[in-house]
Amino acid sequence: MNRKYRKTVIAGNWKMNMTASEIKPFIEQLKENMPKTRACDVVLCTPAVMIPAMIKAGKEVKVAAGGQDVSKYEKGAYTGEVSATQLADIGTKYCIVGHSERRQYHHEDDMLVNAKARALLEKGIAPIICVGESLEQREAGVTMEYVAYQVKAALNGIDATQLRRCIIAYEPIWAIGTGKTATAEQAQEVCEGIRAVIRKIYGARPARAVSILYGGSMNAKNAAELLAQPDIDGGLIGGASLKPVDFATIIAASNQ
């Protein structure tokens, strides 16, 4: 982490877990275990129906509410979709786009991820843009080429001013929900490479201001080592964010 130039962000992704009624007890337990001081922004990304409850409960511990997906459309006949306007209207501050599960199960491509990120930016919501390679791509030695393409596509048409509100989350697909984790060195190598791609597009100053998170099974045991890397500015946390004690431990690890 390099707090001189950018903020640290610890973002939990609850995926399709928990209910609105479970949020308050979760936040109470999180508060009991939260470090007295913290050097990061904390976000919990929930299903859209739970965002208002998260906003209300999260005020006690300064936890921001985030969404997990958004439509590229502002409004219209798109049954089941949620727009950036609707997310902003209820107070959503962050939203994940391009998560590997959306790419895999809903066949979302890079151009759609870009459209969603731009829709969020237009409404003042910070997009957490996910990129990452499969095991096959890593074994073939094309990790950086593939991730670089994803980053370039996701940021297409986004200017330097808008870039300041963007967060990139590197999530190696082979390390999500598998219990496998990239080594700190592997994660740092790719995050450093992502920053180099951004630097080539926007220049050195904008690139060093972008927060890059690691999102491949970061947990209470490995968080400190991962967060010690110079280009890893936080984490996009899956399973561990459902456990208040573990999530608090990860938040505490960001104080180093």
How much is the average pLDDT of 232-241? 96
In a domain, 87, yes or no: yes
Given 28, 99, 106, 136, the catalytic residue: 99
CATH number of the domain bearing residue 169: 3.20.20.70
In a domain, 1, yes or no: no
Phi and psi torsions of 93, nearest 5°: -105, -30
How much is the average pLDDT of 5-34? 96
**SS3 labels along the chain:** CCCCCCCCEEEEECCCCCCHHHHHHHHHHHHHHCCCCCCCEEEEECCHHHHHHHHHHHHHHCEEEEECCCCCCCCCCCCCCCCHHHHHHCCCCEEEECCHHHHHHCCCCHHHHHHHHHHHHHCCCEEEEEECCCHHHHHCCCHHHHHHHHHHHHCCCCCHHHHCCCEEEECCHHHCCCCCCCCHHHHHHHHHHHHHHHHHHHCHHHHHCCEEEECCCCCCCCHHHHHCCCCCCEEEECHHHHCHHHHHHHHHHCCC
- For residue 202, the enclosing domain spans 9-253
The Cα-based distances of 153 to 46, 69, 89, 211 in angstroms read 26, 18, 28, 18
In a domain, 3, yes or no: no
In a domain, 52, yes or no: yes
Q: For 140-172, how does the pLDDT look when each residue is reduced to its tens digit (9 = 90+)?
A: 999 999 999 999 999 999 999 999 999 999 999
171 is annotated as an active-site residue: yes
What's the pLDDT at 37? 83
In a domain, 49, yes or no: yes
The Cα-based distances of 222 to 168, 206, 213 in angstroms read 20, 29, 14
Q: Is 170:190 a contact under the CB 8 Å cutoff?
A: yes
What's the pLDDT at 5? 85
Given 32, 136, 171, 225, the catalytic residue: 171
98: left (phi over 0), alpha (psi -120 to 50) or beta: left
What's the pLDDT at 115? 98
Banded pLDDT at 72 (limits 50, 70, 90): very high
In a domain, 65, yes or no: yes
Total domains in the fold of the chain? 1
Answer whether residue 4 shows pLDDT above 90: no
In a domain, 192, yes or no: yes
In a domain, 2, yes or no: no
What's the pLDDT at 1? 67
